[in-house]
């Protein structure tokens, strides 16, 4: 409960009534903003002088009244959104914020407890959030881990754990033995793997030459025979294959790598198997996707992004490790000023961060509280239903061509009218730009097996059937006008 206590002289004091009034004003603004969003352009180009004004040092000589800040956000910041709050936003995998998650963020900032050290209820909520995500994904009950800022950070933590585990079981934990083994480590991903995996591998010290990109089969899934051949070749060359990263929902097409077959290769050669499920890690909750997740319980670690599939506000990922002690052994560094509790270990021992936000745990709880297990399935079902509708329209409209349609809710397609003899890639790149400029929908491009396509990602709880139809109409209109101006 907020008390009426306020110090005499702090420049940060806001009298309780003013604080309450400002919270109410901000709450009304947030609700009105989100309600009005579907009727506004998805994005609005930001003039360069506005960029310069916003990026100038925000440092007045004298402070200003707090209420002016909301006015500033409303008039100078909100008119230039990233677009992902809008139901007709289909780019990347950036989703609108679930209302329950927004409330959780306000409450999290109010409680302001660190989930890294010390004792507080948010730490336990984070453990519970991690367990809930693990259960939804189909991982064993003993799985542990931490929430992160997103999939990139979760991939980094899991790769670091894989590296520590691999070197530890070889006794190469320090000195010359460590250096000698480290210089031979090799990690494997597919050509479709998200770039954050290479970034993670480089961050833990692997040069690009020891990060293998295994080819995929025609359905964009890792070619397991090619993986095995690469591992055998590296072993024969005296290298140390230590980790394979499979994708549980690739960013480009939503393909799911053959999890069980890759685990079999990992077990045979003593490697760690990490699953990057930033986008698709919760697919096992949906009956149409579940068969692709066979063997998920045997992973050593898994990345999930609640800020993707579950629409929690940015930023929320999760690094899940089926034997959590391996994560802890990787990141525990003793310090006399941080004496933790053995029975309830501090979460900073499982990650690189010491001070950690509690709003992620609250947001995952808030969204799962609203959804329950069935609601998670229903949410994903909505994405898949809209995806099916889109693919049906693409099938029916002669100018549209389906290029890739994985089990998940990403669809790659092209506008290619009959008899068009121009450069189809250039045409589709310009169509994406034209759609973005027009503002009724937003779509980006991706290359599938080297060829540029429009990529439609459906992962937002606000998207409706009508938004899918708007997108298709926009592709056709932009396509016709761009094709005519070549």
Ligand X SMILES: Cc1ncc(COP(=O)(O)O)c(C=O)c1O
d(CA 484, CA 486): 6
Compute how many other C-beta atoms are within 10 angstroms of the C-beta atom of residue 211.
Answer: 20
Residue 312 binding ligand X, by CB under 6 A:
no
Which range touches ligand X (CB under 6 A), out of 27-35, 145-153, 341-349, 385-393?
145-153
Of the residues 89, 166, 279, 408, which one makes contact with ligand X according to CB under 6 A: 279
Residue 407 binding ligand X, by CB under 6 A:
no
Min CB(214)–ligand X separation in Å: 16
d(CA 360, CA 370): 15
Which range touches ligand X (CB under 6 A), out of 148-156, 172-180, 422-430, 465-473?
148-156
Q: What 8-state DSSP symbol labels residue 248?
A: B
Min CB(278)–ligand X separation in Å: 3
Which range touches ligand X (CB under 6 A), out of 122-130, 172-180, 256-264, 275-283?
275-283
Min CB(276)–ligand X separation in Å: 5
Residue 212 binding ligand X, by CB under 6 A:
no
d(CA 269, CA 249): 25
Please state the φ and ψ torsions of residue 61, each to the nearest 5 degrees: -65, -40
Residue 152 binding ligand X, by CB under 6 A:
yes
Residue 383 binding ligand X, by CB under 6 A:
no
Using CB under 6 A, count the residues that bind ligand X: 13
What is the DSSP code string of 410-461?
A: EEEEEE--TT--S-HHHHHHHHHHHHHHH-S-B-EEEEETTEEEEEEE---T
Residue 468 binding ligand X, by CB under 6 A:
no
Residue 220 binding ligand X, by CB under 6 A:
no
Of the residues 317, 357, 382, 479, which one makes contact with ligand X according to CB under 6 A: 317
Residue 87 binding ligand X, by CB under 6 A:
no
Residue 379, Cβ density class (10 Å: 0-12 exposed, 13-18 middle, ≥19 buried):
buried
Please state whether the peptide bond connecting residue 315 to the residue before it is cis, i.e. omega within 30 degrees of 0.
yes
In the complex with ligand X, the residue whose CB is nearer, 41 or 275, is 275
Residue 192 binding ligand X, by CB under 6 A:
no
Residue 305 binding ligand X, by CB under 6 A:
yes
Coil, helix or strand at residue 230:
helix
Please state the φ and ψ torsions of residue 73, each to the nearest 5 degrees: -60, -45
Structure tokens at 192: 């479709």
In the complex with ligand X, the residue whose CB is nearer, 152 or 387, is 152
Judged by CB under 6 A, the chain residues 88 through 107 that form the site for ligand X are 93
Of the residues 96, 116, 138, 151, which one makes contact with ligand X according to CB under 6 A: 151
What is the DSSP code string of 266-321?
A: HHHHT-EEEEEETTTTTGGGSTTTGGGGTTGGG-SEEEE-TTTTT-PPSS-EEEEE
Return the half-sphere exposure (C-beta side, CA atoms, 13 A cut-off) of residue 373: 10
Of the residues 95, 198, 200, 251, which one makes contact with ligand X according to CB under 6 A: 251
Of the residues 189, 196, 200, 409, which one makes contact with ligand X according to CB under 6 A: 196
Residue 84 binding ligand X, by CB under 6 A:
no
Instruction: Please name which of 414, 441, 411 lies closest in space to residue 427, comparing C-alpha atoms.
Output: 414
Residue 467 binding ligand X, by CB under 6 A:
no
Compute how many other C-beta atoms are within 10 angstroms of the C-beta atom of residue 280.
Answer: 32
Strand pairing category for 185-190 and 240-247? parallel
Which residues sit at the interface with ligand X, rule CB under 6 A? 93, 150-152, 194, 196, 247, 251, 276, 278-279, 305, 317
């Amino acid at each position: 409960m907020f008390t009426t206590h306020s110090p005499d002289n702090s420049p940060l004091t806001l009298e309780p009534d003013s604080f309450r009034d400002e919270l109410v004003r901000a709450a009304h603004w947030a609700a009105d903003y989100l309600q009005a969003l579907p009727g506004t352009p998805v994005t609005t180009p930001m003039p360069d002088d506005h960029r310069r004004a916003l990026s100038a040092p925000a440092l007045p000589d004298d402070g200003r009244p707090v209420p002016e800040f909301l006015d500033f956000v409303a008039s100078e910041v909100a008119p230039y959104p990233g677009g992902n709050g809008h139901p007709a936003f289909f780019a990347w995998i950036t989703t609108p914020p679930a209302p329950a998650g927004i409330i959780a963020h306000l409450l999290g900032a109010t409680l302001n407890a660190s989930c890294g050290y010390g004792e507080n209820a948010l730490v336990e909520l984070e453990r519970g959030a991690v367990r809930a995500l693990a259960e939804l994904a189909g991982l064993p009950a003993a799985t542990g881990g931490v929430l992160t800022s997103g999939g990139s950070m979760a991939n980094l933590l899991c790769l670091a754990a894989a590296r520590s585990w691999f070197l530890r079981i070889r006794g190469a934990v320090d000195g010359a033995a460590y250096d000698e083994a480290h210089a031979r480590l090799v990690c494997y991903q597919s050509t479709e793997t998200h770039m954050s995996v290479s970034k993670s591998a480089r961050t833990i010290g692997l040069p690009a030459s020891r990060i293998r990109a295994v080819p995929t089969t025609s359905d964009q899934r890792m070619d397991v025979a090619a993986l095995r051949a690469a591992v055998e070749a590296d072993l024969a060359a005296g290298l140390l294959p230590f980790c394979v990263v499979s994708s549980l929902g690739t960013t480009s097409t939503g393909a799911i790598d053959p999890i069980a077959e890759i685990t079999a290769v990992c077990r045979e050669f003593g490697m760690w198997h990490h699953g990057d499920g930033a986008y698709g890690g919760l697919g096992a909750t949906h009956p149409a996707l579940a068969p692709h997740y066979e063997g998920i319980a045997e992973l050593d670690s898994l990345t999930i992004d609640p800020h993707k599939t579950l629409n929690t506000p940015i930023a929320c990922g999760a690094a899940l490790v089926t034997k959590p002690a391996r994560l802890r052994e990787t990141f525990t560094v003793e310090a006399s000023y941080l004496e933790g509790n053995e029975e309830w270990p501090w979460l900073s021992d499982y990650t690189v961060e010491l001070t950690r936000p509690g709003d992620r745990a609250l947001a995952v709880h808030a969204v799962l509280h609203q959804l329950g297990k069935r609601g998670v399935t229903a949410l994903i079902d909505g994405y898949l239903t809209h995806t099916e509708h889109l693919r049906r329209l693409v099938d029916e409209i002669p100018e549209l061509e389906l290029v890739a349609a994985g089990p998940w809710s990403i669809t790659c397609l092209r506008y290619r009218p009959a008899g068009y003899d121009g450069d189809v890639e250039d045409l589709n790149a310009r169509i994406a730009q034209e759609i973005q400029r027009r503002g009724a929908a937003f779509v980006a491009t991706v290359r599938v097996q080297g060829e540029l396509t429009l990529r439609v990602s459906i992962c937002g709880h606000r998207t409706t059937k009508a938004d899918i139809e708007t997108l298709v109409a926009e592709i056709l209109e932009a396509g016709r006008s761009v094709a005519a101006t070549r």
